[in-house]
Amino acid sequence: MRERRAASPSPLTTAASMIRLITFLAAAGVLAGCATAPPPPLSAASPASPHAPEGARIARTTSLRPDETTRKTNALLSAAQKEQEKWDAYGPVSGTPEDAPKTDGKMDMKKMDMKHEH
C-alpha cells in the first residue's frame, strides 16, 4: 500500500496564517495595555481632587485707569497726530503751515508738464 503523505501547506496559506496570528497578538496586546488598574485615590490636598479647597481669591490692586506714562504717551501721540494733519493739509513746504499756498486738495492735471520718455 501506498503511504499517504500529508499535503504540505502552500507558502501563501502559511504567510496568511502568520499575518493573522501577528495581527491577533498585536490587538490583544493593545487591549491588554488599556486594561489598567484604577488610578490611586487623590488626597484632599491634591489640586486635582474634587474635594480640594478652592484657591484663595485676591482682590485686584490695579485698575484700568491710565497711569502717568500712559497720559504722557497719549499727549505725545495726539500732538503728533495734529502735526500730521497739518502736513497732510499743506504738504511738505519750507516755512510754517501758514506760509504754505492754500489748495482745495485737488490737483490740476492740465497745468502740469507731463513728459514721458519711453
Phi first, then psi: give them for residue 29, nearest 5 degrees: -65, -40
> 1-23: per-residue pLDDT in tens?
566 666 666 666 788 888 999 99
The set of residues, in sequence order, having a beta carbon less than 8 Å from that of 90 and lying 6+ positions away, is 97, 100
Write down how long the chain is: 118
> 58-95: per-residue pLDDT in tens?
777 777 788 899 999 999 999 999 888 888 877 665 56
Phi first, then psi: give them for residue 34, nearest 5 degrees: -80, -25
pTM (2 d.p.): 0.27
Cell of 58: 485676591
